[in-house]
Structure 1
Amino acid sequence: MRVALRSDSYELHRILPSVVDPLVSLMIMEKVPDSTYDMIGGLDEQIREIKEVIELPIRHPELFESLGIAQPKGVLLYGPPGTGKTLLARAVAHHTKCKFIRVSGSELVQKYIGEGSRLVRELFIMAREHAPSIIFMDEIDSIGSTRNESRGGDSEVQRTMLELLNQLDGFESTQNIKIIMATNRIDILDPALLRTGRIDRKIEFPHPKETARLEILKIHSRKMNLVKGINLPLIASKLVNTCGAEVKAVCTEAGMFALRERRVHVTQEDFDMAVSKIMKKTTDPNEDLRRVLK
């Protein structure tokens, strides 16, 4: 807390507004994210879980009070890149009408001693001032990896993580601040960070199965001008071991193939070529160019 004192008597004059680092101020999104659950395909179980630990406590805290149980503080989303972790975090912020504060773990890694921990403190101060709020910490493994004996830059990263642990312990779950962390490497995270009471739920985001890939294709192709007879189940079956972002990219690439030929509709052939491009299995790299120049 910053205060102003009278110069003659040193009596308290007034409380000054808190000063937040400009880097921290840029982390808050002024508008509520426009992502919704309807935009997410193949993650029904993950949506159900995040509703329980994030949305329900914010919208209906009385339910937890009546049961006499503590509200969850935070959740960890883990899985390969492009599987929908960030999209789901934005969607829950949309449905709860919360301020969405997004920070990458790498942004908290500073070269000067004490800077990273200061940013963490100011991040939570800002979250309290804008409550109800959701702090989304992406790439948490940048600062939350297992601690070891080290010096220099690594020790500064560890100080930053210790401050994060301190902040997680220092706020009550009833303050309408929820923490969503995301990582691609849960295996390297410090057990202290994963302790219950800091992170109350761990939700896995695997590569989508065929039924989930089909659902994603339907979501991202529903506004496309498709010719009749597009076989989306066949397309989904070809996208083995792809992530949700790559499945979405197939729809975009199919539209781009149609655009290159100045057509207003997308064909099955466009999708087949898009699948080949995304899967990196195009037999002839000059096929697309020759097709356009016909």
Structure 2
Amino acid sequence: MERGLGIGIKGVLDELMMEVIVPLYHPQLPRWLGVRPMAGILLHGPPGCGKTKLAHAIANETGVPFYKISATEVVSSGSGVSEEYIRELFSKAYWTAPSIVFIDEIDAIAHKRENLQREMERRIMTQLMTCMDESDQIMKPVDVGLNSEASDSRPGYVLVIGATNRPDAVDPALRRPGRFDREIVLGVPDENAWIEILSVLTRNLRLEGTFDLAKIARSTPGFVGADLAALTNKAGNLAMKSIIDSRRSDLTREPKDVDHFEE
């Protein structure tokens, strides 16, 4: 298990470069070398800490197809339908590979099996593990040259990313090499990560004068990414309110001031 605490999304992407991003860019390379790429990543941390943003960032970095499902929606689909939905999703992911499957709130369908109360839940869990295990067969080495088209004649690499606020509820059978090879804990960012997040969130804002992101970071202890996004949005709304209050007849856009972040 590794901690992404405090290093920000860019730092996590840098750490995953060789094991995840390169195989998604060049899926024929690990197959040619006989190396099994990482099958899955389990992200866990409190709500709003950036789990979904990190999954999207990996997809944006590589430009591969991205399939997102909510585990709670899968469970609510009903017996038989849920398993078929998972099969169809992974089938599409494998045949458009390299690709990413992102399962939000994965603990809803991946409870520890001794805690599963319904047969439907057991079937969903079994189906998910079966689909993830298919990548071991698909990614077996091929005795061809690195640049040969034959190396791409079969479905390719699918990375599965799961996100949960309750990692202890996830069945250990999923939290093993070959399924979720890597676990990354995303927690409350440190000051440097706060500054990084704020710099992204305020990139398109019309800021006036000296704007001290470090000061804002220090004044928001305990905030996660979602909290900082809400803060930035509120500052923008307060700026609009100030403009309207001062010039109701003139809605010319004015720069935002740091004071709006402190309100």
TM-score after normalising by structure 1? 0.73
For 1:213 and 1:250, how far apart are their aligned partners in 2?
12
Is 1:74 aligned with 2:55?
A: no
Say whether 1:156 aligns with 2:120: yes
Letter in 1 for 2:195: L
Shift of 1:148: 2.0
In the alignment, structure 1 residue 93 sits paired with structure 2 residue 20: no
- Residue 126 of structure 1: CA displacement? 1.4
Cα offset, 1:221, TM superposition: 1.4
Cα offset, 1:62, TM superposition: 5.1
User: Greater relative contact order: 1 or 2 (C-alpha under 8 angstroms, separation 6 or more)?
Assistant: 2
Distance 1:199 1:45 in 2: 20
1:271 is aligned to 2:261: yes
Which residue identity lines up with residue 16 of structure 2 in the other structure?
I
Alignment of 1:252-291 (within 5 A): 252-262=233-243, 264-273=254-263
**Cα distance in 2, alignment partners of residues 182 and 50 from structure 1:** 16
Asked whether the equivalents of residues 254 and 270 of structure 1 are also in contact (C-alpha less than 8 Å), the reply is: yes
Q: Which amino acid aligns with 1:171?
A: S
**Cα distance between partner residues in 2 of 1:196 and 1:161:** 17
Aligned residues: 231
Percent of aligned pairs with the same amino acid: 36
Whole-Å separation in 1 of the counterparts to 2:42 and 2:71: 14
Q: Is the 8 A contact 1:46 1:205 kept in 2?
A: no
2:162 counterpart SS class: strand
Work out whether residues 81 and 184 of structure 1, in 8 Å CA contact, stay in contact via their aligned partners in 2.
yes
Structure 1 residue 239: Cα displacement: 0.9
- TM-score computed with the length of structure 2 as normaliser: 0.81
Higher radius of gyration, 1 or 2: 1
2:166 is aligned with 1:213? no
CA distance in 1, matches of 2:115, 2:216: 50
Tell me the CA shift for residue 170 of structure 1: 2.2
CA contact (8 A) 1:138 1:181 kept: yes
Q: CA deviation at 1:163?
A: 0.8
How many angstroms apart in 2 are the aligned matches of 1:148 and 1:261?
Answer: 57
Cα 1:126–1:272 shift into 2, 3 Å: same
By how many angstroms is 1:235 displaced?
A: 0.9
**CA contact under 8 A between 1:108 and 1:119: conserved in structure 2?**
yes
Cα–Cα, structure 1 residues 166 and 80, in superposed 2: closer, same or farther, change >3 Å? same
What is the distance in 1 between the residues matched to 2:77 and 2:42? 27
In 2 relative to 1, CA 126–61 (structure 1 residues): closer, same or farther, beyond 3 Å? Answer: closer
The Cα offsets for residues 119-144 of structure 1, whole Å up to 9 and x where unpaired, read as: 11111111123222211111101111
Give the unaligned 5+ runs of structure 1. Answer: 1-40, 274-294
SS at match of 2:8: coil
Q: How do 1:95-244 residues align onto structure 2 when only pairs under 5 Å count?
A: 95-110=61-76, 112-148=78-114, 151=117, 154-172=118-136, 174=139, 175-244=156-225
Do the aligned residues in 2 keep the contact of 1:51 with 1:92 (CA within 8 Å)?
no
Q: Distance in 2 between matches of 1:208 and 1:149?
A: 33
